[in-house]
Amino acid sequence: MSELLPNYVADQWITGSGAGTGLVDPVTGEALVRVDAQGLDLAGAFDHARRVGGQALRALTYRQRAALLASVAKTLQANRDAYYAIALANSGTVKNDSAIDIDGGIYTISTYAKLGETLGDRTFLLDGEATRLGKEPLFQSQHLQVPTRGVALFINAFNFPSWGLWEKAAPALLSGVPVIVKPATATAWLTQRMVKDVIDAGILPPGALSVICGSSAGLLDQLRPFDVVSFTGSAETAATIRSHPAVTQRSVRVNIEADSINSALLAPGDAPGSEAFDLLVKEVAREMTVKSGQKCTAIRRVFVPAASYDAAAQAIGARLAKTTVGNPRNETVRMGALVNRAQLNSVREGLATLRTQADLLHDGASRPLVDADPAIACCVGPTLLGTRDPDGADRIHDIEVFGPVATLVPYRDLPHALELIRRGQGSLVASVYGSDAATLACTALDLADSHGRVHVISPDVAALQTGHGNVMPQSLHGGPGRAGGGEELGGLRALNFYHRRSALQASTTVLHDVQPAPSA
């Protein structure tokens, strides 16, 4: 029987008391490790994190906590080879896709280490200037932010076991808030190994970082009023979290990132053969195939002028046809597997539903796999659908197929395109491709209210742009409406979630004495 990975709670490595859930290689079907959380003292784990971890972290300044993050990044960097091996076996990803998760996580930690350094030797943050409360300036109000005296619970998705942890943990730890992470079971191995390496290195104070692998049963029951919970996953699970007494009765702060039907738009006036057209085609094909389309930010709908529909279908299909799919251990393979059989079945079911209202423009399911048995491997080729009736095809605007699938959509004019994009009911990101600066600026502003990020690509930034689906720590990650309504990252804005704002009303003398130390 495969190894049972231990959990780390209350500064102890503890294996669950159950048989555990097996993790498998999605390409070969090989059993890898098992995870289980039965029998853990969850109440004790949460109390220890709050009481021991929180107190130790809050005693440090932002600069000191930033130094801890820098050390975490160095430790993870030293163990990259092991992480790549785990990602290959457990997630079935090619090396470039693993890098997005692993190196992306390390980069995010390093970014917050540098940001924390700018905050200096402070233990709290000022929020604006002091404001007088009457005619005389002696009695004033000063808003400030202090670290919440609770624990940060992260319930993460399967597609980014590294980045999903560290993009949340970096700002939490920098804020002075201890972390308990519950990774998605299917890919928990990488998260657990990273936490183990950090714990073994003795970098963080006791109680600052915990990991619980396996079932999430009972975790939400442990949350108390000053705790926070951040979730990435399905809208159904998000609804369950929002309706839990911890949120409805104890007012636990919650951040949600849920389903998102992201869009790419080719602006009017950029015909086939233009640089903007080629940039859109290249990015759509890349977003469909990176991590086998298993990204919350992946492009799901592609909007082009009606006159460009056929040319776009041909150009995108030609690029997809060059993508080899199969065992990522073969150097010729450019796209690996979906994470497991359940996800493969979900993609197939979603495709069947979309095809009731959309045509098949490029069939990825018909291509042979490289060094992989189709009866075992959870692989599916990239599939491009299309519809000439975008107003009547409601399913393409409502259903996200979490895999290498996108739908091409023609539009009459720009107002029509914007109307169709908004039928996604709020998304993480939309990208706009064009050459006219005025049109791009106007379109970006029109999309900003319904998207957490608007990625605008013109030929002058073709070699500089970071990619539609790449989440940079300097920019906001999140989105309104069906995307969950949450906000993460965005530089130092991420610290807001882990702080509590308060207004101090006092004399100018008192307020002067509570000023934080200078950042320099």
Residue 481 lies in a domain: no
Task: State the amino acid at position 367 in one-letter form.
Answer: R
Closest CA to 204 of 42, 71, 102, 62: 71
Q: Write out pLDDT tens, residues 246-289.
A: 999 999 999 999 989 999 999 999 999 999 999 999 999 999 99
Rounded to whole angstroms, how far apart are CA atoms 480 and 449? 8
pLDDT band at 513 (very low <50, low <70, confident <90, very high): confident
Token representation of residue 163:
């980045």
**pTM (predicted TM-score):** 0.96
- Of residues 214, 198, 215, the one with CA closest to residue 206: 198
Domain shared by 251 and 268, yes or no = no
Give me the chain's average pLDDT, please. Answer: 96
Please indicate whether residue 236 is annotated as part of the active site. Answer: no
CA–CA distance, 337 with 480 (Å, rounded to integer): 30
Q: How confident is the model at residue 519 (pLDDT cuts 50, 70, 90)?
A: low
Let me know whether 160 and 285 are in one domain: no
Q: What is the arithmetic mean of pLDDT over 492-507?
A: 97
29 with 15, same domain: the answer is yes
Same domain, 233 and 381: no
Domain match, 341 and 224 both: no
Q: How many domains does the chain have?
A: 2
108 against 259, higher pLDDT: 108
Q: Return the pLDDT at 365.
A: 83
pLDDT digits (tens, 9 = 90+) for 416-468: 999 999 999 999 999 999 999 999 999 999 999 999 999 999 999 999 999 99
- Where in 356-485 does DSSP place strands (E)? 359-362, 383-386, 405-411, 427-433, 451-457, 476-479
Q: Which pair of structure tokens corresponds to residue 114?
A: 């540098």
Mean of pLDDT values over 115-132: 95
In this prediction, residue 248 carries a pLDDT of 97
If one counts every other C-beta atom within 10 angstroms of the C-beta of residue 388, the result is 13
pLDDT for 135: 87
Same domain, residue pair 343 and 415:
yes
Asked if residue 27 belongs to a domain, the reply is yes
pLDDT of residue 518 exceeding 90, the answer is: no
Note whether 167 and 268 are same-domain residues.
no
Task: Based on the fold, state whether residues 79 and 103 are members of the same structural domain.
Answer: yes
**Does the pLDDT value for residue 408 go beyond 70?**
yes
Q: What's the whole-number mean pLDDT along residues 44-72?
A: 98
- Report the share of the chain in percent with pLDDT over 70: 99
- In eight-state DSSP terms, residue 516 is P
- Assess whether 219 and 281 both reside in one domain: no
Q: Is the pLDDT of residue 143 over 90?
A: yes
Question: Domain residues for 190?
Answer: 3-258+487-513
Asked if residue 174 belongs to a domain, the reply is: yes
The tokens for 13 are: 């490595």
Rounded-to-integer distance, Cα 313 and Cα 35, Å: 44
Q: Which pLDDT tens digit goes with each residue over 125-142?
A: 999 999 999 888 899 999
Residues 219, 347: one domain? no
Matching residue, tokens 């939490």: 172
Confidence at 366, pLDDT banded by 50, 70, 90: confident
Q: What is the CATH number of the domain that holds 471?
A: 3.40.309.10
Out of 257, 283, 487, 488, the active site residue is 257
Instruction: Please say if 287 is a catalytic residue.
Output: no
pLDDT at 111: 98
53 and 196 inside one domain: yes
Which residue is catalytic, options 213, 296, 378, 379? Answer: 296
Residues 415 and 503 in one domain: no
Q: Identify the pLDDT of residue 514.
A: 85
Strands 262-266 and 152-155: unpaired
**Do the domain assignments include residue 482?**
no
